[in-house]
Structure 1
């Protein structure tokens, strides 16, 4: 993986003894030269992840000893040449993510050694060749996201080694044959988004190794076979959007390893089985849009890993059981809308402190809604079309809600104190948009406090920076005392001296300035590039003791993590402190986001995860724990492979350092990234870093700056996102325009990440996740391309007018 450009030289064909030609992950263009076929000893040809165009040359079929052909993720067009079948030693054929068309050549069945065949993400049409049944070594077939028609040939299910069969997103029709049970090695059977019909064969229950079963968005009819319960290792069962009827088999409760169950948008009748309480590993249960009756089973209390529960659009009745409030793992969504629930909201629901989205609309619930004020992580709420009464909570979240969240609750009223109704509103139509004097004064007071706090922070930070600048108005060594003696403390073997470093501290080598110091790019005599940070001088009364500072540097110098810039060493004399870091060549995240590049979701996600892992290491794996205190896009550096590195520990402090509380009293962080509690407590914790990281995550997703400077839109990104989410616009409108129009699964991943970001920027520090939890949540978001179609619900509630 490099940055090679241009075309593949035909002269490579003269390398008749080369066995591996690895060109993947570059920016190569043009067509694949037919001369490659002259490399008669070639065993591996990998030109994937480039921008190659044109047709696959038929001459590739002359490579008699070729075992692996990787051409995925290019812009290749035309037919798959049947001549590839002459490569009789071929074990791996990967042509996915191109623009190939036409039919799959039946001659592929002649590849008796073929083990994996990936063709997903093309425009291939026609039927699936039955000759695949001759490829007896096949263990993985992925033909997803094409235009294939016809039925699934029974011959495929005779393949004894086949473990993955992925045919998502085609136009396949006919029945799923009973012979599917012959393919005992199947681990993943993913047939969603096709036109398959008939009953789901009960023989599917004989697939004892099946982990994923996707049959969603087809035309299956009849009942769901109870024999599925025999697949004891099943982790995902998704049959949503079919025409399945009858009762949900209670035997499904025996699937104790199930993690996701989606039976939505069918015609299931009867009650939800009590046995569903056995799903101790279940994290998503989606039963919406059926004809289910009865009450919510109290056994749901046992679902202690459940993050999303959707029972909407059924005929469920009775009271909401108090046991729902004990499912404290519910973080993504609880949707009980459009049923016939009665009674009051149980007090136990105050325990759902991490819940992001709650929909109780279109039921017959009554009573007060005070308990909802305890749900401090909410980003979406709809309780409209019920019979609720009494005052609306006066929490910050409820102040952002529009009238649409409360429609047709005629006895609800606005309140100043959260306990009593405002008399002026009681005389008018309830919950109209008229503003009371009391409410206006509260808002004005809040704005005034915020403005004063911001003015105080910015003014003091400005004064602090001016003092630094005054002491270091020139970046040249001559303006300061660079005289000996110098102390040089390396944290690994270094092949340069202090004089080599000082020679590089010139204006032309400056690559950055920040609130903690000025950074130089320094080339050592041996050609090694390092970054040298010269810390701003502090006033004498702020100077920590040398021993204390050196002790902190010693600990920072021994941090070793793939997502943290390595501190190579430390130099100091009586007035100058220099920190030596690895030089990271690809700039920072802010430059990347502002560079008007078509930055893919995969790259953005990689950066988000990497920076989160680095921060989690500082908080949870360093003893004592370390605060960064200035997490922002400028301080996330990127290498040529877009690996993220946390940088700038000029403000970082050990949490048990003697100077920790002294350091906390100075301005911590950068404008736009500072956690709100700092304005009134002047104290920060690791949760302040989490808030700053949440702002970075919002920037990655939206492409906006933390504070936009455009006229008329100069609002903080957190407030902008909250406003968007409360405006009933589609949640996807928050995303960077360059990310829209992507496959639904990827958009859902982005929206789920958006929910995590909002979790991080919760106004209450106690309700924010730890960075270790953030990493875990991010890792759950991403699915591999072959996993597209796996049930995944966004954290952010979509607008109701979107299908």
Structure 2
């Protein structure tokens, strides 16, 4: 019996122990003060793991009668919680508990970076003694409660870096004690309440990073005379900068960049004598830079770039003796660079690029001995580079490209021992390259492209071991390329193209194992191509074209596993294509044209499935048939096998479904021409001098007389097509008679004058897509090369551009207008029209890009030229296709008014669906300079509209 009792007693004892423990714990929690109970509401939904691991939350013990000993909590002598500050504590709350509002004595609440979401409770308005509220860097959403305007004791309010929406409450005007208001980096909308001008104690007002914040800046903010910081960058604010800002005598930082603000910079800002940072870049500001800004002697940073400011640079800016950064680039400034800027002895960065500044470079700038960056590129500067440049011992980057600077390169550059980037490209420099430059042991980039430099490349180049980019193309350098260049172990880009280099290509270049680009085209280099170049396993582009290389293509070229472009055309190469070419698995362009290569086309070519841009074997001595393996080149867009001795059938080419260009003329091909949709678009020019080639109905057998299966349905259709064709032919003949004598002269003269100004691709770029696009501005710019040009006209040049995903687009680069003309902005007009047009027979504008100099239009790619060319050159167009083109053209024309008729070109695609392009005349409709601008009209794809010269005379 004793045994049974003892077995029963153990669980009964455990039950009573657990019951008493729960009662005791409940009593402990119940004994916690009301403020402590309110704080516990923060823990109820907090992450359990972080409750235990957090040094803050783990200190919140339930055994204490008050929370005053808890970390992050401060109490008054009366044991009331007056401060809760637990920033960077991972609470992971889906909402802020309303129980916190019972902390009636709370003066400070800091829950920043605690991973809280949900809305801000309006019950927080009950914190009548609150002086600081910091809920920044969370995921709070919804509107800011207007009830917060009742917190009249509030001095600091931080709600920045959340997802708050709605407008800024006008009730904030009641926060008469407020000193700091931070609402930046949210999704707020509406305008800035003018009532905020009554917050006379306010020192910081930050509302930037709210892209939906619109409206004008209230002039009433000029009443905030205690304001030290006003930040409203990256918003949709518009209107002018209020002149009342000149009353902000304590203002230290004005950050109003990347907005829609326009108008002039108020001269009144010159009264803000405490100003340190003036950030007004990336706006739409116009007019001159006020000379009054020269009064700001405490100013350290002045960023005005990316506006449309005009006039000259005020010499008074030299009085800003504390200036460290001055950036007025990418504006419309003119005149000379003030020599007085040389007084700025603490200036570290001077950016004046991309303006219309003229005159010479003032030698006084050499007095700015603290300069680390001097950027004068893309202006109209002339005269020599001052020899005093050598005084800039701290200079790290010097950009002068795109000017008209003449004379020689000063050897004094050798004294700029900190220099790592020197770009003097696109000027009129003469003489030789000073050897002193190659003593700069930090120089990483040396760009001297497009000058008239002479002499040889000094052997001392090897001393500059830090060189990563050496770009000397488009000069008149001569002599042999020194073998010492092979010692530049860090060189990635080597551009020596379009010079007068002779002799052999030094095999020592193979020692530069990190080299990615080697371009020596258009020189007088002779001898064999060094087989040692195969050691350049990182090479991505190799261009040896237009020289006098002899011998065979080295077998070692098969080592170029990263090569995407191999260009060897216009040399004297012989022998066969090496079989190792199959290893070039990333090749996109292969050009071996205009050599004396012989033998069969190796079947290994078919394994180069990455070939997408072009394969050119033309003007060689290849024999035999096209290998069947070439059917694998399904992404190839351009194929030229012309002027060889190839034979057999071309049936295999019907598998190349991405082709947009094909030329197999001047060979010995035989058999039927394939009948794929692409082959139906080709003219006789693609097949010339292949007497045994024949047309076919089925692609397998020749047919001497062809008729489409879907022939003309009735005599009415035949009559209609006859009328349409006759009308088109008559119109074309009439136009050509009228323009024959002077058309070519007018076009060439206009194009030459339009393109005479050098263009550049510098940043910043604006890229505006009209639909979702799977490419970037960098993808586009990388393809804007001469080899991709498909047409030129008087309004621009057009490129065929392939995106990384294989998508083809056409990019039209508009010519720059002359500075002394006032033509209508063709770029903006085309955007206004094309950006909103959606019609099946009108070429679609995909988007546009622009920087200060270059304007690009992005179109769908249409492969078949224009209607004029099609009717004149394609004698084999059947009536059904002609009818289809005529109807498509008519449907597109019907979309527009008669006055625009002559400005559009009819362009058939690969299925002979007609598309209308060239909106040249549309951009003139509102222009007072109609006749002047006529000389600039051209096709959107680079073709001159047939009616263009006819219209010029009326």
Matches of residues 224-373 of structure 1 in structure 2 within 5 Å? 224-373=505-654
Show the counterpart of 2:711. 441
Which one of the candidate residues 895, 899, 909 is aligned to 1:719? Answer: 909
For residues 410-438 of structure 1, the C-alpha deviation after alignment (integer angstroms, 9 at most, x for no partner) is: 111111221111123xxxxxxxxxxx433
**CA–CA separation in structure 2 for the residues paired with 1:359 and 1:144:** 35
Provide the rounded CA distance (Å) in 2 between the counterparts of 1:225 and 1:264.
16
Q: Give TM-score, length-normalised by structure 1.
A: 0.59
Give SS of 1:29's match. strand
C-alpha spacing 1:724/1:143, structure 2 compared with 1 (3 Å): farther
Residues 161 and 736 of structure 1, relative CA distance in 2, 3 Å threshold: farther
> Taking structure 1 as reference, are residues 385 and 302 closer, same or farther at Cα in structure 2, changes over 3 Å only?
same
Q: Is the 8 A contact 2:903 2:919 kept in 1?
A: no
Match of 1:396 in 2: 677
- CA displacement at 1:443 relative to structure 2: 12
Q: What whole-Å deviation, never above 9, does each CA across 1:333-360 have from its counterpart, x for those lacking one?
A: 0000000000011111111111111000
Quickly say closer, same or farther: Cα 1:609–1:139, change in 2 above 3 A. farther
Give the whole-Å Cα distance in 1 for the aligned partners of 2:552 and 2:645: 19
What is the SS of the residue equivalent to 2:342?
helix
User: 2:661 aligns to what?
Assistant: 380
Distance 2:616 2:599 in 1: 16
Find the residue that maps to 2:332 and give its secondary structure: coil
Question: Would you say the 8 A contact 1:721–1:734 is kept in 2?
Answer: no
1:411 aligns with 2:601: no
Equivalent in the alignment of 1:72: 353
CA shift in 2, pair 1:153/1:600, >3 Å:
closer
Task: Please name the residue that 1:672 is paired with.
Answer: 840
Q: How far apart are the structure 2 equivalents of 1:754 and 1:358?
A: 21
Q: Which residue of 1 aligns with 2:462?
A: 181
CA deviations over 1:178-212 (Å, ceiling 9, x no partner): 00000000000000000000000000000000000
Residue by residue over 1:434-461, the C-alpha shift from the partner in whole angstroms, topping out at 9 and shown as x without a partner, is: xx433883999xx99xx9xxxxxxxxxx
| Residue 101 in structure 1 maps to residue 371 in structure 2 | no
From the superposition, tell whether residues 614 and 60 of structure 1 become closer, same or farther in structure 2 (CA, over 3 Å).
Answer: same
Alpha-carbon distance in structure 2 between the residues aligned to 1:374 and 1:700: 21
Could you give the per-residue CA deviations for residues 447-497 of structure 1, whole angstroms, max 9, x where no partner exists? 99xx9xxxxxxxxxxxxxxxxxxxxxxxxxxxxxxxxxxxxxxxxxxxxxx
Give the 5 Å matches for 1:120-159: 120-159=401-440
Tell me the alpha carbon deviations over residues 187-240 of structure 1, each in whole angstroms, 9 at most, x when there is no partner: 000000000000000000000000000000000011000000000000000000
Query: CA 1:61 to 1:605, structure 2 compared with 1: closer, same or farther past 3 Å?
Result: closer
1:398 deviates by 1.1
Contact 2:467 2:488 in 1 (8 A): yes
Structure of greater Rg: 2
Is there any run of 5+ residues in structure 1 with no aligned partner, and where? 425-435, 452-598, 617-630, 632-641, 643-668, 677-688, 691-695, 726-732, 740-752, 756-803
Cα distance between partner residues in 2 of 1:754 and 1:712: 15
Verify the 8 A CA contact 1:724 1:734 in the aligned structure 2: no
SS in 2 for 1:607: strand
* In 2, Cα distance between equivalents of 1:86 and 1:722: 67
Q: 1:589-642: per-residue Cα shift (whole Å, max 9, x none)?
A: xxxxxxxxxx998899833599414999xxxxxxxxxxxxxx9xxxxxxxxxx9
Q: Does 1:28 align with 2:196?
A: no
Bigger RCO (CA 8 Å, 6+ sep): 1
Structure 2 residue 181 is matched with structure 1 residue 13: no
Using the TM superposition, give the Cα deviation of residue 373 of structure 1 relative to its aligned residue in structure 2, in angstroms: 1.0
**Any gaps of 5 or more consecutive residues in structure 2?**
1-281, 722-758, 778-808, 810-827, 829-836, 848-856, 867-888, 924-939, 943-954
Closer, same or farther in 2 for the Cα pair 1:734/1:299, shift >3 Å? farther
SS across alignment from 2:909:
helix
- Deviation, structure 1 residue 397: 1.2
What is the CA–CA distance in structure 2 between the aligned matches of 1:241 and 1:419, rounded to whole Å? 44
Q: Do 1:241 and 1:265's aligned partners in 2 also have CA atoms closer than 8 Å?
A: yes
- Give the 3 Å change call, closer, same or farther, for CA 701–118 of structure 1 in structure 2: farther
1:195-234 paired onto structure 2 within 5 Å: 195-234=476-515
Q: Is the 8 A contact 1:148 1:172 kept in 2?
A: yes
Q: Is the 8 A contact 2:841 2:892 kept in 1?
A: no
- The CA distance in 2 between the partners of 1:378 and 1:200, in whole Å, is 39
CA contact (8 A) 1:707 1:715 kept: no
CA contact (8 A) 2:635 2:659 kept: yes
Q: Secondary structure at the match of 1:409?
A: coil
CA contact (8 A) 1:698 1:754 kept: no
Which of 746, 761, 773 is the matching residue for 1:612?
773
- Please give the secondary structure, in 2, of the residue aligned with 1:306: coil
Contact residue 677 and residue 911 of structure 2 kept, 8 A:
no
Is the CA contact 1:604–1:700 (under 8 Å) kept in the aligned structure 2? no
